[in-house]
Amino acid sequence: MKTFLVTGGAGFIGSNFVLHLLGTRDDVRVVNVDALTYAGNLENLASLEGNPNHIFLHADIRDRDAMAQALTQYQPDVVVNFAAESHVDRSIENPGVFADTNVMGTVNLLTCCRAAWDDGKGGFGDHRYLQVSTDEVYGALQIPEAVNPDGSPADPAGATYFHETTPLSPHSPYSASKASADFFVRAWHDTYGFPSVITRCSNNYGPYQFPEKLIPLMIHNALLHRELPVYGDGLNVRDWLYVEDHCRAIELVAEHGRLGEVYNVGGHNERSNMYIVRTIISEVRQATGDAAITENLIRHVTDRKGHDRRYGIAPNKIREELGWEPQTRFEVGIKKTIRWYLDNPEWVEHVTSGAYQQYYERMYAGR
């Protein structure tokens, strides 16, 4: 039985990863550590209630005593760190929180893992640590001159992409905090021989995503006939990765990736924000039969500060070394995502009450 300690395991990607591990393997147990901030939701893990291979700990990665005790008590073979503040708008509003959690929290977790795993002779046995990062640390790419209607490059062979060797050039407080954490992870490996590896993914979407991010926000608002706020001209392009594909990649890298390396994880699904919104309108209208869900709901709002124009990942390394490729095209994944939100109205109702409503009004009122 291999033990994974997963931090941030009640959040969007973290909970999907926990469900993936325990749903596909019977040789693992998961110690799930989450501080249960606004984005952490134990309802994501309701299907695991009573599962003896799932242990939940309500703790913060910044708490050294709690992390040291968890590592001592459960002796995990693998630590996967999802725990992070992750929304760019929130980082612009309050950057200090992102530095505290994403940077100092990571440093604390690295410190505790090193202390727990060091054999006193400069070795760490078979332990492994994976830092889940983002393509946003690379900065921005230019939009190719020739693009398809969905915003993807019309000539992919001539387009530029992020590679693992691309210099880091973060543009938001969020991406700066994630880049800083990556540097600390790399420093732990280079300085102490610490057994770490980093993944950098493109934009994720799928079940359990908190509706402050583009796709669940647009689905939720469309169902309520609310305006669909689109930043600027809506032509910013992202590479979209279905969360189940990402979970498979993390599992592979966590167990088989070369230590000290970075692996980019992309979906080969570059789409503009306007294409995303229009697709959601069409698919939600078709799924519900609600003729009132039209493009008249779209409202362009003041663009986000420092809004990167395009992200695009080249996942060549993970394909060549580990055999991973994305399996879900966006046009398939978005249908599955919409269906999940339609089938889980109680989950949506619970996460869109109270503090979320206040945040939504603060972010978009008057823009």
Domain harbouring 174, CATH code: 3.40.50.720
Q: Give domain status of residue 262, yes or no.
A: yes
Which of these is catalytic: 34, 60, 85, 136?
Answer: 136
Question: Tokens standing for 234?
Answer: 């809506």
Q: Give domain status of residue 319, yes or no.
A: yes
Rounded to the nearest integer, the mean pLDDT of the chain is 93
Question: Tokens standing for 2?
Answer: 């291999």
pLDDT digits (tens, 9 = 90+) for 122-133: 799 999 999 999
Q: Give domain status of residue 334, yes or no.
A: no
Any catalytic annotation for residue 119? no
> Which residue has 């909970």 as its token pair?
15
Which of 237, 216, 254 is closest to 352 using CA atoms? Answer: 216
Separation between Cα atoms, residue 109 and residue 132, nearest integer Å: 13
Any catalytic annotation for residue 174? yes
- Report which residue type is found at 71: L
Any catalytic annotation for residue 77? no
Separation between Cα atoms, residue 75 and residue 69, nearest integer Å: 10
pLDDT digits (tens, 9 = 90+) for 13-58: 999 999 999 999 999 999 999 998 878 888 999 999 899 999 999 9
Which of these is catalytic: 129, 138, 174, 311?
Answer: 174
Local confidence band at 356 (pLDDT 50, 70, 90 cut-offs):
very low
Based on the structure, what is the number of domains in the chain? Answer: 1
Q: Give domain status of residue 363, yes or no.
A: no
Q: Give domain status of residue 96, yes or no.
A: yes
Which of these is catalytic: 60, 85, 135, 251?
Answer: 135
Local confidence band at 85 (pLDDT 50, 70, 90 cut-offs):
confident
Q: Give domain status of residue 55, yes or no.
A: yes
Q: Are 313 and 266 in contact (CB under 8 A)?
A: yes
| Mean pLDDT, residues 232-236 taken together | 94
326: burial class by Cβ within 10 Å (0-12, 13-18, 19+)? buried
Q: Give domain status of residue 57, yes or no.
A: yes
Per the structure, the complete domain to which residue 160 belongs is given by: 2-209+239-271+310-329
pLDDT digits (tens, 9 = 90+) for 138-196: 999 999 988 899 998 888 878 899 999 999 999 999 999 999 999 999 999 999 999 99
Q: Give domain status of residue 259, yes or no.
A: yes
